[in-house]
């Protein structure tokens, strides 16, 4: 049984996340033109209104298919130089209309997270309806982010990011990064129960290191926080399966999701919600014993 079965629930506002009873599915909405996975919903011919309509349709589809969390991001996580990073104003212009529209259109119990490492973007996204901060730099890029999470009393997802990090042994490196991020969160006043961790598959890690992290994912349980796993359509899957394009990586993603749940993943962040909800249900039936058979 995954270690999170003994963790207390994460409670904030009108939301409650129980750990250990089921795996939560987070659907991805990339409000970008250059997503690595090919699912970005921004194109030159589309107006902001068109993008919002597409995002709401996708969000509704994800919820119908079984997602209880939606993650909205406005900047591609492809490797890039600091000079290429998206301006905060442009990131805000992308994500705020989408988050505001999703907040109005989706059921109240659906949780919206904002995928950003900029505190100002997170602040305005929370004002627009987001209720979770998903920081791909684990509070180690913007010094204001930890204080914001504490001030607003929302959960924060701390991802390990090895880009520019001096690596020695990848599992201990990730553990060290996450431990440092947890300390930053706690020092700023973030409640222990509102911290979620993510090993950061593909962020400054080689394919071999990604496979090793997945093989030893259970070691992250030592940090005693719920684990989010984001492997969906990632390049390591394509390489292992012979150079498949992102849209052809569903089966490979399914394998990582199932094996990740067996090792303690509590949330899976995915592009293909319909298929992965089925994988999650089957995995939970085996790993957690949560199933109901027809009479």
Is residue 52, in this structure, part of any structural domain at all?
Answer: yes
Tens digits of residue pLDDT in 50-92:
899 999 999 999 999 999 999 999 987 665 544 357 799 999 9
Is residue 14, in this structure, part of any structural domain at all?
Answer: no
pLDDT at residue number 1: 47
pLDDT at residue number 83: 39
- Low-confidence stretches of the chain (pLDDT < 50) are 1, 3, 37-38, 81-83
Q: Show Cβ contacts of residue 118 under 8 Å, excluding neighbours closer than 6 positions.
A: 88, 91, 142, 145
Is residue 195, in this structure, part of any structural domain at all?
Answer: yes
pLDDT at residue number 15: 97
Task: Point out the catalytic residue in the list 94, 123, 233, 234.
Answer: 234
Classify residue 211 by its DSSP letter.
H
What residues does 12 pair with on adjacent strands?
15
Task: Tell me how far apart the alpha carbons of residues 108 and 93 are, in angstroms, rounded to a whole number.
Answer: 24
The CATH number given to whatever domain includes residue 100 is 3.20.20.20
Q: Show Cβ contacts of residue 77 under 8 Å, excluding neighbours closer than 6 positions.
A: 36, 136, 203
Task: Tell me how far apart the alpha carbons of residues 233 and 128 are, in angstroms, rounded to a whole number.
Answer: 29
pLDDT at residue number 124: 98
Domain with 148 in it: 3-7+19-287
Is residue 12, in this structure, part of any structural domain at all?
Answer: no
Task: Point out the catalytic residue in the list 94, 225, 233, 269.
Answer: 269
Task: Tell me how far apart the alpha carbons of residues 179 and 102 are, in angstroms, rounded to a whole number.
Answer: 33
Annotation marks residue 167 as catalytic:
no
Is residue 295, in this structure, part of any structural domain at all?
Answer: no
pLDDT at residue number 112: 98
Annotation marks residue 269 as catalytic:
yes
Tokens 């996450």 locate to 178
Is residue 231, in this structure, part of any structural domain at all?
Answer: yes
Q: What is the pTM of this model?
A: 0.93
Q: Show Cβ contacts of residue 111 under 8 Å, excluding neighbours closer than 6 positions.
A: 15, 17, 68, 69, 70, 131, 132
Q: How many residues are there in the chain?
A: 295
pLDDT at residue number 123: 98
Residue 146 near residue 187 (C-beta atoms within 8 A): yes
Is residue 198, in this structure, part of any structural domain at all?
Answer: yes
Q: Based on the structure, what is the number of domains in the chain? A: 1
Is residue 294, in this structure, part of any structural domain at all?
Answer: no
- The secondary structure element, H or E, covering residue 55 is helix 48-65
Classify residue 68 by its DSSP letter.
S
């Amino acid at each position: 049984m995954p270690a999170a079965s003994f963790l207390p629930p994460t409670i904030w506002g009108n939301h409650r996340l129980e750990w250990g009873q089921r795996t939560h599915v987070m659907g991805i909405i990339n409000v970008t033109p250059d997503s690595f996975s090919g699912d970005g919903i921004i194109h030159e011919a589309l107006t902001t209104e068109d993008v919002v309509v597409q995002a709401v349709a996708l969000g509704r589809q994800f919820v119908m298919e079984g997602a209880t969390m939606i993650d909205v991001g406005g900047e591609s996580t492809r490797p890039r130089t600091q000079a290429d990073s998206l301006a905060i104003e442009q990131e805000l212009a992308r994500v705020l209309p989408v988050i505001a529209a999703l907040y109005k259109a989706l059921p109240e119990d659906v949780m919206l997270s904002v995928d950003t490492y900029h505190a100002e973007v997170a602040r305005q996204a929370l004002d627009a309806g987001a209720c979770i901060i998903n920081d791909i730099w684990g509070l180690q890029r913007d010094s204001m982010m930890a204080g914001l999470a504490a001030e607003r009393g929302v959960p924060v997802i701390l991802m390990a990011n090895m880009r520019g990090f001096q690596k020695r042994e990848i599992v201990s490196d990730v553990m060290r990064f996450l431990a440092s991020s947890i300390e930053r969160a706690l020092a700023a006043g973030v409640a222990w129960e509102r911290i979620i961790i993510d090993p950061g598959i593909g962020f400054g890690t080689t394919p071999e290191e990604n496979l090793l992290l997945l093989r030893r994912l259970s070691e992250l349980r030592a940090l005693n926080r719920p684990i989010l796993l984001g492997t969906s359509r990632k390049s390591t899957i394509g390489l292992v399966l012979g150079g498949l394009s992102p849209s052809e990586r569903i089966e490979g993603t399914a394998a990582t999701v199932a094996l990740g749940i067996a090792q303690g993943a509590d949330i899976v962040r995915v592009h293909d919600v319909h298929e992965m909800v089925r994988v999650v249900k089957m995995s939970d039936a085996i790993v957690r014993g949560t199933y109901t058979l027809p009479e």
